[in-house]
Amino acid sequence: MKNLLFAALVAMLPFIALAQNSVTGKITDQNQQPLPGATVKLRNQKTAVVSDASGNYTITNMVNGKYTIVVSYIGYKTTEKAVEIKQSMVLDFSLAPQNFLADEVIVRATRATEKSATTYKNIGKEEIQQNNFGQDLPFILQNTPGVVVNSDAGAGVGYTGIRIRGSDNSRINVTVNGIPINDSESQGTFYVNMPDFASSVDNVQIQRGVGTSTNGAGAFGASLNIQTTASELEPYAEVNSTYGSFDTWKNTVKVGTGLINNRFSFDGRLSRISSDGYVDRGSSLLKSYFLSGAYHGNKDLLRVNVFSGTEKTYQSWNGIPQSRLENDVAGMNAYIDRNGLSTEDADNLLNSGRTYNSFLYNNQTDNYTQNHYQLIYARQFSDQFSFNGALHYTKGEGYYEEYRVQDKLKNYGLNPVDINGGTPVTETDLIRRRWLDNDFYGVTYAFNYVPDKNLNFTLGGAYNEYKGAHFGQVIWAQYASNGNIDRHYYDNEGFKTDFNVYGKVNYSPVESLSLFADLQYRRVYYDIAGTENKLNTLAINETLNFFNPKVGATYFINPQSNVYASFSVANKEPNRDDYTDAGVAGISPKSEHLNDVELGYRYKDDKLNLGANAYGMFYKNQLVVTGQINDVGANYRQNVDKSYRLGIELDGSYSISKQFMVNANAAFSRNKIKNFNEYYEDYDNGGFVINNYNLTTISFSPDAVLFGELVYKPFSGFAIALQSKYVSKQYLDNTQNNDRTINGYWVNNARLGYDFKFAGVKNINLGLLVNNLFDKKYENNGYTYGYQSGGGRITENFFYPQAGTNFLLSLNVKF
């Protein structure tokens, strides 16, 4: 790996000699606000650059002579200047608004701004592209404050997850163009169903805490507000290929028409990702496409998006036992005895190492396809009044297949098998598929009224419906009994409606003060009927009404800095498993309630961008894991009366010089449950053992998450970034027991990028991402369960090991 890095650097050194004159400057609007992503071109030449997040641009390698520089940006009139280059120079541009509506209006209603008393982070297109090597979206966002990511297969491809402030996927609200993406029943977001989606994302805003009112699942840890690709002014074609460790491949083709007659545009993407994964048999085959067409009128915007993802992943859900992780042979043999492993499974455990996967059946796979359809319309009725709304439909269908050893026939509604009058056979090896066939559709809308520059009203909301059919099939059995391949051994359907309406007002009584109020009413209806796994009957019906107010204020100390404070309320319904597992756990789940207090400071000038935030999140009836698990390894959850998260977050970047920049963030927190009851089964006496704990740490909530990055740009087009991330110890359950923890870890990565041009090619980018530079052995996720047996407690800990040093090498060519 060191040789590879050295070779890459040496190969790029000759290009230093090409540097000659340069033109640098800043692109702003008429209010001197920076315009990131503006295109700066030399007329009649292929040379073109894009302004960065601060609106800055640089054109290098210019010989003496006369040029015409053309600057364009969606929503603004194209402008140009004729210049004569004799030496390097500075040239700024101020763009006037264009007479058509830009895509930014699509997400405006649910976005926070610098006047919002909300803790947020914007990630622009350039940063997304720099970090997009084919890993799932969580890994592209992992360097933002308080974020911890995980990967079942160990390398960021396949099933991945994200936690923000210790809150998992099911507590993070995700919208794409204001449209909900979270699964209505589990309330999680499965990024494996959206492979290479980052290649079609224009920008992302992460709002930590409750954030502003949005559509879909309640935000209990954060919101991810995603806007997809906006129209480009010029036609383009782009080919991206990535190859890396574990035979990982990403192939992406993108095309776009640019603006046709200053009105129409069409964009498309086709992607394929494959990887063997770090974990044994942890393979993934992912395919996706994205199509978008838009009409930009003087006062209207109409956009149609169609995107789809198909995934086939070999299951690596079970993780690795602690004894295998520690190479504890005696512990592994005890595990084999306790769990009655077959000779084949025992050999697999004893001989596999850190990449152990308990599944050996050759088609132990998860298979799912999800298709999204969005029709988005925006209208600017006047300078003061505008509207945007969307119709959407998502179709999902798929199954996971698994081999089961000696399952009871009665669990599948099958009769005992009588063979030649002997003892009836009541158990059989079998292969089953568990299916989900769902439909999600609805409407979102927002009206915006700005009577003057100091007052802004927004009225918005959504109505969505979900229908999910769950059923199981036995596709093979050693003893088939009275079954057949088309028979459903269980059938149930979930139906859910989600209505919300919100009103927001921002008011500035004086120039230095901005006040806001945000009131949301949300109504959720959920119904489940039918039979579940093991033929349990389901009859669940619930209607919940939530009121979620938010208030805050921002005070501008000067044009560079401000302070803010806010108080927000959020409510959240239980998920499907909380309801279906209630009969086993013995207690019906309650909805969760959160009071969130945020206090922060922001500063920004040409060199320094700094944010500091303190928060208190106080929960009532938070749902936490109890220690019990069901037959597919999922945790049972129960409400705890009172719990809280207190924390401080720091986020900053500093330009030391034109060559050096430092980015860093830190999150420190204290996450506690005031009173917690642990449950585990008592196989000696029957029933459960119950232990009570006071003031314990919430599981998967590290006290510290730190990130630092040093970026070095020795010459135009070339950048080296060294990244370092630290995550402190995490508890696997809520007992704060040091025998059930994920060890803290410190991981270092390096990213290299080089942009250059050839005749007939707009841009060529070579990228190299080296993960885990120092080959750290670490785990970032896991689970635990326990039971009473033989007079004592047996604890089973499982972990998800992450890959050692690995790389991804990309080539992107844009025409």
pLDDT tens for 649-661 read 999 999 999 899 9
Nearest partner of 748 among 713, 719, 780, 707, judged by Cα = 707
**Owning domain of residue 413:** 236-319+357-814
- Tokens for 132? 């997009």
Mean per-residue pLDDT for 40-54?
76
What does the pLDDT read at residue 298?
85
pLDDT tens for 744-778 read 999 999 999 999 988 788 899 999 999 999 999 99
| CA 165 to chain centroid | 14
Helix (H) or strand (E) run with residue 569 in it: strand 561-572
What does the pLDDT read at residue 8?
43
CATH number, domain at 684? 2.40.170.20
What does the pLDDT read at residue 105?
80
Work out the pLDDT band at 634, boundaries 50, 70, 90. low
Residue 18 lies in a domain: yes
Burial label for 277, CB within 10 Å (0-12, 13-18, 19+), is: buried
| CA 330 to chain centroid | 39
Nearest partner of 356 among 332, 331, 321, judged by Cα = 321
Show Cβ contacts of residue 284 under 8 Å, excluding neighbours closer than 6 positions: 153, 157, 158, 192, 273, 274, 275, 277, 311, 312, 313, 314
Helical pair 329-339 and 343-350, crossing angle rounded to 10 deg: 160
pLDDT tens for 386-443 read 999 999 999 999 999 999 999 999 999 999 998 888 889 999 999 999 999 999 999 9
Residue 492 lies in a domain: yes
Mean per-residue pLDDT for 629-646?
79
DSSP state of 158: S
Mean per-residue pLDDT for 288-311?
95
DSSP state of 687: S
The answer to whether 62 and 18 have CB atoms below 8 angstroms apart is no
Which is more confident, 680 or 362?
362
Whether 135 shows a pLDDT value over 90: the answer reads yes
User: DSSP string spanning 292-345?
Assistant: EEEEE-SSEEEEEEEEEEEEEEE--TT-EEHHHHTT-HHHHHHHHHHHT--HHH
CA-based angle 181:182:184, to the nearest 5? 115
3 state DSSP class of 6: helix
CATH number, domain at 89? 2.60.40.1120
> What is the pTM (predicted TM-score) of this model?
0.88
Mean per-residue pLDDT for 710-732?
95
Whether 16 shows a pLDDT value over 70: the answer reads no
Backbone dihedral angles phi then psi of residue 416, each to the nearest 5 degrees: -55, 150
What does the pLDDT read at residue 12?
40
Whether 525 shows a pLDDT value over 80: the answer reads yes
Whether 633 shows a pLDDT value over 80: the answer reads no
**From CA 489, how far away is CA 644, in angstroms rounded?**
42
Mean per-residue pLDDT for 47-52?
77
Nearest partner of 222 among 111, 120, 117, judged by Cα = 120
Per-residue buried b or exposed e for 288-303, using 16+ beta carbons within 10 Å of the residue's own CB: bbbebbbbbeeeebbb
What does the pLDDT read at residue 46?
57
What does the pLDDT read at residue 324?
97
Residue 280 lies in a domain: yes
Nearest partner of 500 among 484, 519, 481, 482, judged by Cα = 519
**From CA 393, how far away is CA 620, in angstroms rounded?**
34
What does the pLDDT read at residue 632?
53
Whether 630 shows a pLDDT value over 70: the answer reads no
**From CA 103, how far away is CA 536, in angstroms rounded?**
49
What does the pLDDT read at residue 99?
61
pLDDT tens for 175-211 read 999 999 999 999 999 999 999 999 999 999 999 999 9
Q: Are residues 94 and 243 in the same domain?
A: no
What does the pLDDT read at residue 5?
44
Residue type, 561: S
Residue 447 lies in a domain: yes
What does the pLDDT read at residue 627?
57
pLDDT tens for 435-487 read 999 999 999 999 999 998 889 999 999 999 999 999 999 999 999 899 888 89
**From CA 586, how far away is CA 807, in angstroms rounded?**
48
Handedness of CA 579, 501, 220, 518 (dihedral sign): negative
Q: Which of 64, 98, 132 is the last residue of a domain?
A: 98
38-52, 82-96, 107-121, 518-532, range with the lowest pLDDT: 38-52
Nearest partner of 774 among 741, 706, 711, 725, judged by Cα = 725
- The structural domain count of the chain equals 2
Whether 78 shows a pLDDT value over 90: the answer reads no
**From CA 355, how far away is CA 358, in angstroms rounded?**
10
DSSP state of 231: P
Residue 707 lies in a domain: yes
Work out the pLDDT band at 107, boundaries 50, 70, 90. confident
What does the pLDDT read at residue 316?
95
The answer to whether 444 and 389 have CB atoms below 8 angstroms apart is yes
3 state DSSP class of 102: coil
* Most distant pair of Cα atoms in the chain: their distance: 101
Q: Which of 98, 122, 139 is the last residue of a domain?
A: 98
What does the pLDDT read at residue 39?
86
What does the pLDDT read at residue 660?
94
What does the pLDDT read at residue 445?
96
Show Cβ contacts of residue 657 under 8 Å, excluding neighbours closer than 6 positions: none
17-21, 216-220, 704-708, 758-762, range with the lowest pLDDT: 17-21
Q: Which of 53, 69, 98 is the last residue of a domain?
A: 98
Residue 435, CA distances (Å) to 274, 367, 396, 488, 635 in order: 24, 9, 11, 10, 20
Backbone dihedral angles phi then psi of residue 54, each to the nearest 5 degrees: -100, 5
Whether 594 shows a pLDDT value over 70: the answer reads yes
Work out the pLDDT band at 19, boundaries 50, 70, 90. very low
3 state DSSP class of 140: helix
**From CA 126, how far away is CA 147, in angstroms rounded?**
20
What does the pLDDT read at residue 11?
40
Q: Are residues 240 and 93 in the same domain?
A: no
**From CA 146, how far away is CA 669, in angstroms rounded?**
9
Residue 346 lies in a domain: no
Whether 17 shows a pLDDT value over 60: the answer reads no
User: Residue 636: how many CB atoms within 10 A of its CB?
Assistant: 21
**From CA 652, how far away is CA 609, in angstroms rounded?**
5
Mean per-residue pLDDT for 688-709?
95
Q: Are residues 93 and 240 in the same domain?
A: no
Residue 320, CA distances (Å) to 167, 348, 730 in order: 23, 12, 17
CA atoms within 13 A of residue 554's CA, in its CB half-sphere: 23
Mean per-residue pLDDT for 600-620?
94
**From CA 462, how far away is CA 339, in angstroms rounded?**
49
Mean per-residue pLDDT for 78-82?
87
What value does the mean pLDDT of the chain take?
A: 91
Work out the pLDDT band at 45, boundaries 50, 70, 90. low
Residue 136 lies in a domain: no
Nearest partner of 705 among 256, 165, 29, judged by Cα = 165
Mean per-residue pLDDT for 35-54?
78
Residue 366 lies in a domain: yes
The answer to whether 711 and 750 have CB atoms below 8 angstroms apart is no
Which is more confident, 299 or 773?
773
**From CA 351, how far away is CA 343, in angstroms rounded?**
12
What does the pLDDT read at residue 264?
93
The answer to whether 361 and 347 have CB atoms below 8 angstroms apart is no
User: Residue 89: how many CB atoms within 10 A of its CB?
Assistant: 14
